Amino acid sequence: MEKLLLLGDEAIAQAAIDAGMSGIYAYPGTPSTEIMEYVQASAEAKNRNIRSIWSANEKTAMETALGMSYAGKRAMVCMKHVGLNVAADAFINAAITGANGGLLVVAADDPSMHSSQNEQDSRFYGKFAMIPVLEPGDQQEAYDMVHYGFQLSEDMQIPVMMRITTRLAHSRTGVARKEQKPQNELRLPSNLRQFILLPSIARKQYRELLTKQERFEAASGNSGFNKLTDHTDKKLGIIACGLAYNYLMENFPDRNVPHPVLKIGQYPVDPALIDSLYTSCDELLILEDGYPILEELIRGMLNNGKRVRGRLDGSLPRDGELNPVIVGAALGLDHARGNDVPALVKNRPPRLCDGCGHNDAFLALNEALLEYGRGRVFSDIGCYTLSALEPLESINSCVDMGASITMAIGAADAGLVPAVAAIGDSTFTHSGITGLLDAINNNAPITVLILDNSTTGMTGGQTSSAFGKVEDICRGLGLSEEHILVIKPLKKHHEENIEIIRKELAYNGVSVIIPRRECIQTLGRKLRQKAKMKELEITQ
Amino acid sequence: MKKDIILAGVGGQGILSIAACIGTAALDEGLYLKQAEVHGMSQRGGAVQSHLRIASTAVASDLIPEGSADLIISVEPMESLRYLPMLSRTGWIITSINPFVNIPDYPDMELILKEIWKQHHYVTLDADAVAKECGSMKAANMVILGAAAPLLGMKPSAIENAVEKIFASKGKDVVELNLKAFHAGRSHTMKQM
Ligand SMILES: Cc1ncc(C[n+]2csc(CCOP(=O)(O)OP(=O)(O)O)c2C)c(N)n1
Ligand code: SF4
């Protein structure tokens, strides 16, 4: 079959369509977003009636996928690494319930934090949940592993995780497809109590999970994704996980590494495979594009065995993404560097688009807050977080989705009154609603700005679950009408906006101000589409 | 054959359309290819780059090793300098000289050009002006692609076909504009070589 030129994310999406997936659920987050976007744009997916839904957050997405698995069909849930923190309750417990229809959880990590708050390694979650984890080394393997993962999930009756990183997700290459499979029929679990985690049942299910571990290890030994290539120079043995294998190979133009190499693509790893490398080599080098998970396991807390090199002994940097040069240096290989970056080259950080409504909202907020002084604006995650940078420098926190409102409550309780929360519309429905309920129930003296640009801007303009609902949600939570105020963040309304914010800052209770103006980017896209439609009408 | 290319620019300038043309041409020529793109945060007006690797044998790493890029193709002059450590001693810089000024401390243009002209191999051109002459500034990207074309190790016709393919959905006029821009860029470099 002809190869398709696909991003890693797109390869995963195409594979899921081909492997008979019936539904995909996700909340956007770099670098995982393009998986859902590909399915939503796919005519094949539409023809096959595949459900493809942006959920309110990662937890609801995970649970919806689990529900589809309960009903016997194949489901996928996708998120960025920190999304798994949000979905963790459902995720960990899904390992106890087990799966019925194939359930694949895709977690996209971001080593080097290109677009994230941290670089947590989702393989830890996989180990925590004690489920199989797949870590593709390239886009083709990602495609193949989706097919394998769904099958493994059904064979072992367990959710399977696929862990990818930014580089794989956002790199494009030719990918060959497999034959398409039909979707599963609706089929209830053979044991109708499998998903009831009452203690008496959960204990039994958990023991079953424990006994499955050996089968998981055996599976990783048989799948072909963990492969030992022997070689003569046994002074060193190399373990390369996922993408790190490519960085290793890049250092050997003939692809011939003089040492034994164990390529890892599936966990839990069969200990026998590690043992054969460990006993036959003088020392080991462990390459992981993430946390030193295998390295820590093999080296052990006491580190009193053979020398194990990697991120923990300084052979590789402790943090950040790997690359061919870093891996080459760990092998003692030299490389030529180009010229230095000339001193005149200036940083060019990301910034709010020209004409973005967030800019006007924060200009007004900055001015309204002048009389109280700086340091009292708790923000959240989205385009508006860029207001932390010059020239606005409006906000003082960005921690996790939803934390703006709740941190403001805590700070106000400590005496920082008024405290301000700034949260985007999509972040509000992701994790802000419960925090606002806390604030209202406790009559916290906080002013909440729900910056409503009618989209999920930061990740490229996906539909926002909050669309058209923000005021109703606030009312429903019990907020009184006079403290729900919509403003238009435009230069011409600057003075009146300052006045409104000032008045609510002085109010000793919860108020919500909603600066509402559509994102320039999504608006532009819509207008261009409209123009194109018109053109088509004229030419037809 | 191996070409490792850094594409550079500012988020929103559309370096990925250049990448798409080269990538499509490479696939049609039966070459192997990997292209690492930057999505997400930095797309908001920040510095963006893409690693495009083409070879007659399978490509291992998605990232180009430092010091081994054959080409830096940039749609913005200051951005062309940001990736110098990636460039091999024999590598070329192909860049537009049209600054994208969205920071307060953007350096003096003359100093930037001096730095570029200090490098071993470079092609600098006023892509905006050339594109305008061809009919629209929007085609500046294709002028830069054309300027890089003689250094890509592929037949010009392969890249032309790719340009046609990529813009086909936008109509005949757009295809013609972009082809014209491509040729103008290409002859600029041919004259210099
Ligand atoms: C738990 C979690 N999920 C997803 C993300 C990725 N993410 C960061 S910002 C953002 C969009 C926020 O949209 P919105 O709140 O509407 O603000 P906008 O960007 O539109 O201004 C997303 C999805 C994240 N950082 N954390
Ligand atoms: S993408 Fe939209 S919300 Fe984000 S900065 Fe640009 S205009 Fe503002």
Tell me: the pLDDT tens digits for B123-169? Answer: 999 999 999 999 999 999 999 999 999 999 999 999 999 999 999 99
CA B31, CA A246: separation in Å to the nearest integer? 18
CA A315, CA A335: separation in Å to the nearest integer? 16
CA A161, CA A103: separation in Å to the nearest integer? 8
Local structure of residue A397 (DSSP, 8 states): B
Atom of ligand 1 nearest to the CA of A117: 25
For B120, which residue in chain A has the nearest alpha carbon?
A339
CA A28, CA A460: separation in Å to the nearest integer? 9
Q: Is the dihedral of CA B88, B92, B97, B99 positive or negative?
A: negative
Atom of ligand 1 nearest to the CA of A57: 3
Residues of B in contact with A34 (CB under 8 A): 39
Closest by CA to A165, choosing from A26, A295, A289, is A289
On average, the pLDDT of chain B sits at 94
CA A41, CA A7: separation in Å to the nearest integer? 14
Q: Which two tokens stand for residue A166?
A: 């930014």
Average pLDDT over residues A49-71: 98
Checking if the pLDDT of A69 tops 70, the result is: yes
Domain ranges (residues) in chain A: 3-211, 227-330, 357-523
On average, the pLDDT of chain A sits at 96
Tell me: the pLDDT tens digits for A243-279? Answer: 999 999 999 999 999 999 999 999 999 999 999 999 9
Q: How confident is the model at residue A540 (pLDDT cuts 50, 70, 90)?
A: low
Chain A CB within 8 Å of residue B162 CB? no
Domain ranges (residues) in chain B: 2-192
CA of A468 to the centre of ligand 2 (A): 19
For B60, which residue in chain A has the nearest alpha carbon?
A246
CA A132, CA A153: separation in Å to the nearest integer? 9
Given this model, what pLDDT does residue A1 score?
Answer: 62
**What does DSSP say about strands A74-80 and B87-96: parallel, antiparallel, or unpaired?**
unpaired
Chain B CB within 8 Å of residue A175 CB? no
Chain B CB within 8 Å of residue A81 CB? no
B169 or B78: whose pLDDT is higher? B78
Average pLDDT over residues A316-324: 98
CATH number (3.30.200, 3.10.450, 3.40.50, 1.10.10) of A227-330 reads 3.40.50
For A539, which residue in chain B has the nearest alpha carbon?
B171
Backbone phi, psi, residue A311, to 5° = -75, -25
Q: What is the radius of gyration, based on Cα positions, of chain A?
A: 26
Tell me: the pLDDT tens digits for A116-164? Answer: 999 999 999 999 999 999 999 999 999 999 999 999 999 999 999 999 9
Instruction: Verify whether the Cβ–Cβ distance B41 to A167 is below 8 Å.
Output: no
Asked if A172 and B23 count as a contact pair (C-beta separation under 8 A), the reply is: yes
- Looking at domain B2-192, its CATH class is alpha beta
Residue A104, ligand 2, Cβ within 6 A: no
CATH of domain A357-523: 3.40.50.970
Given this model, what pLDDT does residue A252 score?
Answer: 96
Q: Which two tokens stand for residue A399?
A: 């921690």
Instruction: Verify whether the Cβ–Cβ distance B39 to A349 is below 8 Å.
Output: no
Tell me: the pLDDT tens digits for A291-308? Answer: 999 999 999 999 999 999
Secondary structure of residue B25 in the 3-state scheme? helix
Complex confidence, ipTM = 0.93
Asked if A167 and B63 count as a contact pair (C-beta separation under 8 A), the reply is: yes
CATH of domain A3-211: 3.40.50.970
Closest by CA to B85, choosing from B97, B103, B72, B102, is B72
Q: Which two tokens stand for residue A274?
A: 């590690």
